[in-house]
Amino acid sequence: MCSAACPRVGLEIGSLRRKEEYVPFKIIASQCTSCSACEPLCPNVAISEKGGNFVIEAAKCSECVGHFDEPQCAAACPVDNTCVVDRALPRYQAPV
**What average pLDDT does the segment 47-64 reach?**
91
C-alpha to C-alpha distance for 83 and 44, rounded to whole angstroms: 15
DSSP state of 8: S
Q: How confident is the model at residue 92 (pLDDT cuts 50, 70, 90)?
A: low
Most confident of 4-18, 52-66, 82-96: 52-66
What is the four-CA torsion angle of 36, 29, 83, 59, rounded to 10 degrees? Answer: -90
pTM (two decimals): 0.69
Of the listed ranges 6-10, 59-63, 90-94, the least confidently predicted one is 6-10
Q: Span 40-63, mean pLDDT?
A: 92
Q: Where are the domains of the chain?
A: 24-93
pLDDT at 76 over 80: yes
CATH class of 24-93: alpha beta
Q: What is the DSSP string of 31-80?
A: T-----SSGGG-TT--EEEETTEEEE-GGG--TTTTT-SS-HHHHH-SST
Query: Is there a contact between 2 and 11 (Cβ–Cβ < 8 Å)?
Result: yes
